Structures are given as structure tokens and as C-alpha cells.
Chain A
Amino acid sequence: MADDLFNSFMNGPDEKGRFGIHGGRFVSETLMPLILSLEEEYNKAKDDPSFWAEMDFLWKHYVGRPSPLYFAERLTERLGGAKVYMKRDELNHTGAHKINNVLGQIILARRMGKTRIIAETGAGQHGVATATVCAKFGLKCVVYMGAHDVERQQPNVFRMKLLGAEVVPVTSGRGTLKDAMNDALRDWVTNVRDTFYCIGTVAGPHPYPAMVRDFQAIIGKETREQMMEAEGRLPDTLVAAIGGGSNAMGLFYPFLDEKDVKIIGVEAGGKGVNDKMEHCASLTGGRPGVLHGNRTYLLQDEDGQILEGFSISAGLDYPGIGPEHSWLHDIGRAQYVSITDKEALEAFQLCCETEGIIPALEPSHALGHVMKIAPELPKDHIICMNLCGRGDKDIFTVAKHLGVDMSGTEGRTAD
């Protein structure tokens, strides 16, 4: 921890919800009173030991935390350099890190007396996590999902329906995560009195970016302890994939004041960060703007119109990024790079072959960057990457890209 609190990177956001110039509360007046009461309720919960006791109980008995920190021995040998550890958040109930945050928000919603939960989802992981926790607590759940994503993430759509959620395919825009978030916000404005919007990433109006980060920070807290146990020291480098950036923020946050820990976020490079903007790399290829309640780096054209991202991974297909990442980028505390679809697919296959783990396409981007840097680093260098989701949902997408015909077998091999 930092000796001097004033020099800490962990103090954000300020009272206006800003991280540097990023963040804020750019929402319509209808939502503003609710955002303020959410902030008040969250501040109360944050300091209430009974809130965290409930979280800890459910994290342990319902989610299966702590998730293991795993030394990827054969992958390390194959890469021939740094030691690679994986934080196994894909082993959580529902198969990704998303449920860490959903539990916190749903417990808050219950404290606020809200009876109807809405969520947006890209890959479907956040939608499944939300539907799951709503089923557990008997809450009505509506999930907005881009029509294009509904098509490429069928197994997750079916899971949500099994869990009793209503899945609304969104056809506005190009039918991806950004458009799902627009429609979720429209629903919220309409049903503001009984509805809680469970946002799936560290974006949106304050207090969401800070609140979601705090719920996901369990990843980094566990990693610190587990790494001390395994190696007797902290890792040298952290690597995590970023769409909105919640798994990355969760891993990074408890390490922000550790000057010797290098932090790398990996954006989705799609077909490559090019002039045609066929990527989702907001920090590498965007500039600051205002969307979905916060100021942050956005993919936009010269007139300030938002561009559609492009990625093989539905979970990273978002033209923005959480405002705290934008700030960490501005001040240089974290480094942000991009990995293309092709590189992520190679990483996906390598992980399957060397470790017997089928990763989601999202953390495959993180692994893609690990594959680039690990061979060049000394053998006593420790890299920890967040394996934030499992890849069962992605096998059809991967098969298609590898030229494998799985039509006709879909029903049996989905999971």
C-alpha cells in the first residue's frame, strides 16, 4: 500500500464520480434521482459489515470462491520465458467473473426494495449471471441482448430462458452490446420506480464504475494472497482482457499502488487497429467522449457519432471502456495494448492443448498478449493473467473460424 494516501491510485472517483476527466453522471433527469439514491444506498452498504458478510457467504457457497490461482506449467514451458499463472475465474458458478458483481448489485437491489431487474449482455455471461441470481432470489429478470449477439451466443440465450429470464433481442443499431445498453437504459427510464439496472461492467454513470470495481476487486484481493502463498511475493505483471473492463479492473485495483507491478490491459483488436475501425480498441483507436452516462475513450467519427466496434468476441464488442481505465491510461499507470481476432484464436487453441482448459474468447485476448511477452521475459518473472471466463459458449464461433462444420451437432455439443 502507498505510504502517502494523497499519492494513492486507489482514491478515485471524486465526489462527482470522476476519474481525472473521465466518469461523471451523464444521464437524463428521470434517472438522476435514482442514481443518487443508489449512490447513497451503496455508500451505506459498503460500510456495513452485514452486507459484506452476506456477500462472502454467497461468494463461498454459491459462486465457489476463492477461485484457484493456477500455475500454467506446460504453457510456461511452451512459451519458454516468464512463469504464467492464471486466476481461474472461469471456474465460478455460471462460468465467468460476472457473477461476482451481480451478487453485489442484486443484494443492493433487494435492500432498495426493487422487484424487477434489468441487464444488458454481450456474450451472454452477464445476462446468465443476472438471470441466475434473480432465479435464486425470486426476482423478475429482463435481459437486453443485441440481435446479432443472440444469434452468435445461442447456448447462453437458452440458459437465460431456462433460468426464467425474459431475453429481449435488440435490433436497433448493429444489434450488439452498445445497442443492448441503450435499450436497457430506455427500459430503466420507463420503469424507474420498481426496476434496478444491473450493469455488467465498470462503465455507466457514477456510482456504477466504482461499485462494480469494488465487487470485482475480490479477484485481485484473492490473487494477492494466493500469490504470496505460492511464490512468497507479488507478481511482476498482470494481464487482463478489456471490453468494458470489469474483470481487468477487479484484478488490477488491489495492485494499483504496487509500483513494481506492471499492469497491462488487452483490448480487442478485431481485424487490426486500422482506419476502417474494424476493432474495439477504444484506448488505442478512440478519443474521449460521452456515452452511456460517462465520459471515457470512445470509438467515434469526426462528428462525434459513435462507431460500432468489431470483434470475434461478443463480450469485448463495445465502443467504450470503463472510465477508470481511461484515467489509468491517461496517467500512464497501466499500459493498454490490443490483440487481433487471429491472435486470440491462436491463444484459445494453445490454452486448450497445453493446459486442458477451454478459455472464453475474451481472456484468449489476454493470453494472446501473454504469448507475445512471456518468451522475452526471464524465467523468474511472474505473469498473472485473468482467465475470466470459460469457452463453452464460444465453441461454435471458434469452429466456424477454424472451418469446422458443426451443423447438426449443435444440440448435443452445446455444453
Chain B
Amino acid sequence: MTRIDATFARLKADGKKAFVSYIMAGDPDVETSLAVMKGLPDAGVDIIELGLPFTDPMADGETIQLAGQRALAHGMSLDRTLQMVRDFRAGNDTTPIVLMGYYNPIYNRGVDTFLAQAKEAGIDGLIVVDLPPEEDEELCIPAQNAGLNFIRLATPTTDDKRLPKVLQNTSGFVYYVSITGITGAAAAQAAEVAPEVARIKAQTDIPVIVGFGIRTPETSREIASVADGCVVGSAIVSEIAAGKSPSDVLAFVKGLADGAHSA
């Protein structure tokens, strides 16, 4: 059982929805983002998504593009991202960490080397935006074999015919993208998301977490109430971009987490 599976078992026992937060590793620098990361579990975050900076984040809006650019400008790299995970793990061995990013930095490292390093650092799962099921042999299958969860995105364009293919090699949870669009875009609507989540849950027992377009505690609660939990990224990254202190960022995160947990 991975940390992700254990977390969902705990939440299920408590009758609570999951709150997942995203931050970019090294944004704006390692010290600040590590301070935020260390505080996330106490702010109510159940699962941490840690962004791996990439020069060309094709599925991300401006907020996360700029976060990646800030991190890279301060010398962030795959090695430093892994070190950040180790530093976090030194004080926390329970909160799952999902590394989220694009394939090239991983491919460049070499898949086997990367998986060994990620596992050793304490990463539990991977979300790699530009690896659809058609490319499962690249990283998804090797990651599962290495004991890491490979979390797949399902989207409004994933029709019923295609859904089994998307769910087939998914583990940990399914990340339902609430809108057709990039991160940080239009607001998610619970009324539109609910039937989509039901559609996915009809075909899998894996938890379904909804992300994209969630910016407020209210939306966090509304969306979490129609799924197994929700993800917030750009809204948190915007707080960091505005130069807020880690404690102010964490207070903002707590509001979102409380929203999801009240669902």
C-alpha cells in the first residue's frame, strides 16, 4: 500500500474528502517553497502535488508558466527538486507527494534512473501531462513496476469509449480535469462536474479527484462534495507570486482545505 492508498483509506474511515494542493518546486526559490511545503500537512493538505519546472509547460496557464520560469531562473533542476522531497521527508513520512510535470526532464534523465531516484527521495506518484495512455510503455508501466502510482488525467473530451483505456493503468487516484483548458482558467461548475465524476466512478473503484478552475473555499467545498476530493494549484501559486510569506500562503491554503473537508 502506497502513502496515497493509505491516505485515501484514512479519509474514507473519517468520512472526509481529500484536499490536494499544488506548488511549483523552487518557486520563487527553494527556501521559500520548502517552507510552504513543510507547512502544507498542518494546513490540512492530504496530498501534495509538487510541480517539476519545465521551460515549455503546454497545458499550463500563465500563473504556472511564470512559477516555472521563476524557479528555473533561480537554478531549479530535477536534482534540486528531488532534494526538496528528501528534505521534506526528513520531517514527514506520511503525506503523499505526487510529482507533476512534463516528460522531457524525466526522459532526459533516463526513465530507470529517474524512477530509482524518485522512489528513494520519497515520491509516491507521478502525473505527467504529456503522456497519454497511447504512450504507456514510456513511463507509466515502468513507474508502476517500480512501486510508484501513475495518476492519469481524465477530461471532458474523454468519452465513454475511451475511458477504459484511460483508467486501465491508472493507480492512486484519477485526476478529473474539470474544464477543457489550461490550468488557472475558467471556474469549475459543480453541476457540470458531478455527472462526469459519476461517469468515471461507474467504471472504477479508484478515487476521483477534480482539479482546474478551483480558486475559493466555496468552490473547493462544492467540487469536493461531488467527487472524492479536489485539487487547487494556480490560486495558491498566485499567492506565492504576490510575494506573500509562507505563513500567509498557508493560511490561504487552510481556507481551501477547510472548504474541501466541510464537504
Interface residues of A (CB under 8 A from B): 16, 24-34, 172-173, 178, 182, 185-186, 189-193, 289-293, 295, 298, 300, 303-306
A34-B157, A304-B109 known; A291 vs B61 contact (CB < 8 Å): no
> Which residues of chain B are near A295, meaning CB under 8 Å?
107
B180 touches A190 (CB 8 A): yes
For residue B30, give the distance in angstroms from its CB to the closest CB of chain A: 15
> Which residues of chain A are near B103, meaning CB under 8 Å?
26, 290
B123-143 residues with Cβ-Cβ distance < 8 A to A are: 129-135
Q: A28-B155, A295-B107 are in contact. List 5 more A-B contacts (CB 8 A).
A: A25-B135, A28-B58, A190-B185, A304-B106, A305-B54
Interface residues of B (CB under 8 A from A): 53-62, 65, 72, 77-79, 102-109, 129-135, 152-159, 162, 166, 177, 180-182, 185
In the bound complex, CA of A304 to CA of B154 (Å): 27
> Which chain B residue has the least Cβ–Cβ distance from A171?
B62
**CB within 8 A of B130: which of A293, A304, A305?**
A293
A178-B56, A289-B104, A304-B106 known; A29 vs B61 contact (CB < 8 Å): no
B181 touches A190 (CB 8 A): yes
> Which chain A residue has the least Cβ–Cβ distance from B153?
A29
B56 touches A182 (CB 8 A): yes
> Which residues of chain B are near A28, meaning CB under 8 Å?
58-59, 129-130, 132, 153, 155
Considering residues A25, A30, A193, A292, which has the most beta carbons from chain B within 10 angstroms of its beta carbon? A30
For residue A30, give the distance in angstroms from its CB to the closest CB of chain B: 4
Chain A residues touching B, majority SS: mixed
In the bound complex, CA of A291 to CA of B106 (Å): 12
For residue B255, give the distance in angstroms from its CB to the closest CB of chain A: 28
B158 touches A33 (CB 8 A): yes
In the bound complex, CA of A173 to CA of B72 (Å): 12
B104 touches A304 (CB 8 A): yes
For residue A355, give the distance in angstroms from its CB to the closest CB of chain B: 40
> Which chain B residue has the least Cβ–Cβ distance from A308?
B55
A30 touches B108 (CB 8 A): no
> Which residues of chain B are near A300, meaning CB under 8 Å?
104, 108
In the bound complex, CA of A29 to CA of B135 (Å): 11
A193 touches B180 (CB 8 A): yes
A304 touches B108 (CB 8 A): yes
A28-B129, A186-B58, A292-B58 known; A192 vs B78 contact (CB < 8 Å): no
A27 touches B132 (CB 8 A): yes
Considering residues A26, A185, A295, which has the most beta carbons from chain B within 10 angstroms of its beta carbon? A26
User: What are 19 A-B residue pairs whose CB atoms fall within 8 Å in the complex?
Assistant: A24-B135, A26-B103, A28-B59, A28-B130, A29-B155, A33-B162, A182-B56, A189-B58, A189-B180, A190-B180, A190-B182, A191-B180, A293-B130, A298-B104, A303-B105, A304-B54, A304-B78, A305-B105, A306-B104
B58 touches A32 (CB 8 A): no
A27-B130, A27-B132, A29-B166 known; A291 vs B56 contact (CB < 8 Å): yes
A29 touches B177 (CB 8 A): yes
A16 touches B108 (CB 8 A): no
> Which chain A residue has the least Cβ–Cβ distance from B105?
A304
> Which residues of chain B are near A173, meaning CB under 8 Å?
55-56
> Which residues of chain B are near A30, meaning CB under 8 Å?
59, 153, 155-157, 177, 180-181
